[in-house]
Amino acid sequence: MQKKGIQKTLLFLAVTFLLSWPMAFGYLAAAGMSYSLSFLLMGTLYMFTPALAAIIVQKVVFKEKVLVPLGVSFRLNRWFLAALMLPPFLAVVATAVGLLFPGIRVTLDPATANIFEFFGRVFPEERVEALRRSVATLPIHPVLLTLLGGTIAGATVNAVAGFGEELGWRGLLQNELAPLGFWKSSWVIGYVWGLWHIPFIVYGHNYPGHPLAGIFMMTLWTILFAPLIGYMRLRADSVVAAAIMHGSLNGTAMAPALMTRGGDSLTVGVMGIAGISVLVVLNALLYRFGKTDFRHNQFLQQVQRHADQLYR
């Protein structure tokens, strides 16, 4: 990596964590994992800190353009659809893999599903019971609503929030780490991405009841997911596709918890061992069939062209 790339990377990471961690730790220490409106607002602001850091570093500090160099493009192609559909596919397959574990079984009654054990750790009992009653009145099984609604949200409102992260992770950071090669740069981004989630993991999000093991699991998960979403960014030639994939993931990840019983957040679901096992297989398929070196070299040449035009 060139000296400038190292400087931009370190400055971006410093600004991102300085904007995000104090805000999240401060809020969670005062209010806890409440899932209130204020928590939703704080979480949304948190998701936009990588984008804000990318703009500060790219535009304010280094006086460079943001949109084209960081891959902001709305020219649709088939890889946008692939990015949208991979997360619900992951949710379905992770559900099936989870059923191979001892003590895990399907439940057609959503009121008895794992999701309510999760809710019981963060919501008062009366609120959990109200949610059970609400689910019982739905015209179709909530897992179908989650998969369908979460996928639609992934292409719309969730994509906006996902863009708040992806302009940083798959925009600036993937650009600056490109000289490391596809796999190494993806793993570094995944590692940083996982650590960035620490405030929420410590206070019970994603892995309730497992604050320390959850940090390890989350970081492992993001390391394994990073090559997949990074590859989508390359093939779509747009960080917007990565934002859509991120939004679709956030919208559909809870689907397994709506139709399974048994296990816990470390074992079942998209973020558990079941989902991690699926990611391992998908990474192996990507390594074997994705022509990642060829695609990454094209991307690296594109990054270099933008740099040459800047200093021409």
pLDDT at 123: 72
Candidates 51, 53, 91, 72; CA nearest to 241 is 72
Q: Can you tell me the mean pLDDT for 217-221?
A: 98
Dig out the tokens for 105 from the structure.
Answer: 């079984």
> Distance between CA 46 and CA 123 in Å, rounded?
22
H/E run at residue 106: strand 105-106
Which of 43-57, 89-103, 146-160, 296-310 shows the lowest mean pLDDT across its residues? Answer: 296-310
Residue 242 pLDDT greater than 60, yes or no: yes
pLDDT band, residue 310 (cuts 50/70/90) = low
Give every CB contact of residue 132 below 8 A, 6+ residues apart in sequence: 111, 116
Residue 268 pLDDT greater than 90, yes or no: yes
DSSP 261: E
pLDDT at 98: 96
Tell me whether residue 140 is exposed, middle or buried, using C-beta atoms within 10 angstroms of its C-beta: 0 to 12, 13 to 18, 19 or more: exposed
Residue with the larger pLDDT of the pair 136 and 102: 102
52, 66, 196, 274 from 238: Cα distances, Å: 18, 13, 23, 30
pLDDT band, residue 114 (cuts 50/70/90) = confident
pLDDT band, residue 136 (cuts 50/70/90) = confident
Which domain covers residue 299, as residue numbers? 3-310
Percentage above 90 pLDDT, the chain: 78
pLDDT at 65: 93
Residue 64 pLDDT greater than 90, yes or no: yes
Give 22-62 pLDDT, tens digit per residue: 999 999 999 988 888 999 999 999 999 999 999 999 999 99
> By the 8 A CB rule, do 239 and 247 touch?
no
Q: How many domains does the chain have?
A: 1
Within a 13 Å sphere around the CA of 268, how many CA atoms are in the beta-carbon half?
27
Say what the alpha-carbon torsion angle 6, 246, 225, 113 is, to the nearest 10 degrees. 150
Sign, CA torsion 121/126/131/133: positive
Q: Can you tell me the mean pLDDT for 87-113?
A: 93
Residue with the larger pLDDT of the pair 209 and 272: 272
Q: Can you tell me the mean pLDDT for 245-272?
A: 95
Candidates 86, 300, 285; CA nearest to 182 is 300
pLDDT at 62: 95
Give 172-201 pLDDT, tens digit per residue: 999 999 999 999 999 999 999 999 999 999
Residue with the larger pLDDT of the pair 209 and 280: 280
